Amino acid sequence: MSNRIYDPITPRQVAFLGLGVMGYPMAGHLARAGHQVTVYNRTEAKSVAWCEEYTRPTGQTSMLNHAQTPRLAAQNSDIIFCCVGNDDDLRSVVLGPDGAFSGMKPGAVLVDHTTASANIARELHAQAGALQLHFVDAPVSGGQAGAQNGALTVMCGGDREAFDKVHAVAMAFSKAFTYLGASGSGQLAKMVNQICIAGLVQGLAEAIAFGDKAGLDMNLVLDVIGKGAAQSWQLDNRGKTMVADQFDFGFAVDWMRKDLGLVLDEARRNGARLPVAALVDQFYADVQQMGGRRWDTSSLIKRLK
């Protein structure tokens, strides 16, 4: 966990649904910012462990609790944050008699950080409105390190009023929390993000593989070209680990394939042409076949060595 200093704001009663590699530290930043946090996780032992971890070091008067269902976690909360795996997981924690919508009070806001489809964002936004609730689709970029350091970039879609209600609280784990437009806009922006990353990582993998074949000192080459037009976050943070054949951190190949599946489904609907993204998706399928399902996305270079 980072040593970041939190801007003082009025403590709120919030809930967090889903304590995976992203949600666990995100919820922790909310607790350390002084909010009263109730957490829910499908495996209850993780919820218990979270409460124990964040109660001890904070020394705060804020109460941390865990609930057995999303409905119970959402009761009495002003804002409910959510970060789960996919569309189906999202439906399971939001809808139904034990879902968050069943427990939310009128005017409460559910902020969903899952990388999911734009369709489910619009679906849940409409259902929330019918119940006098609010729903904001807010996928994140920055990976596990960004979540741990409270430095995520968050792309938001939905009603501006709902966005404004949650902005200050969400800055506990964000370096940027930006409103992009109507419901689904956040998810579509995350798709743009993943298209960019796919092409960049493949280009970097090919460049490093080419330089190796040419007999160059690629660590030195990366230092040089990183000062010019080839510079990118991927080059700065993954270039030398790719040279060193290290792939045990960051964003997993399985997750990237899920995201690219969403991208390609949306492209079929809107008519966008994505030849590079489609090709890189198949390259990631090759990496999965090599046993790299949990390797970092920079493992594309493994195909080329």
| Active site members | 190
* Surface-to-core class of residue 269, CB atoms within 10 Å of its CB (0-12 exposed, 13-18 middle, 19+ buried): exposed
Instruction: Write the DSSP assignment of 65-83 as a string of letters.
Output: EE-SSHHHHHTT-SEEEE-
When computed from its CA atoms, the radius of gyration of the chain, rounded to whole angstroms, is: 20
The single residue listed with the structure tokens 């909360």 is 77
Please report, to the nearest 10 degrees, the dihedral formed by the alpha carbons of residues 81, 86, 87, 93 taken in order: -40
Q: How far is 170 from 163, CA to CA, in rounded Å?
A: 10
Task: Round to whole Å and give the CA distance between 209 and 37.
Answer: 47
- Asked if 18 and 39 count as a contact pair (C-beta separation under 8 A), the reply is no
Q: Which two tokens stand for residue 96?
A: 């139904």
Closest to 114 in 3D by CA, of 91, 142, 137: 137
CA 91 to chain centre: 17
Q: Do the bridges between strand 140-141 and strand 134-137 make them parallel or antiparallel, or are there none, so unpaired?
A: unpaired
* Helices and strands (DSSP H and E) totals, the chain: 13, 9
Residues 6+ apart with CB under 8 A from 249: 144, 241, 296
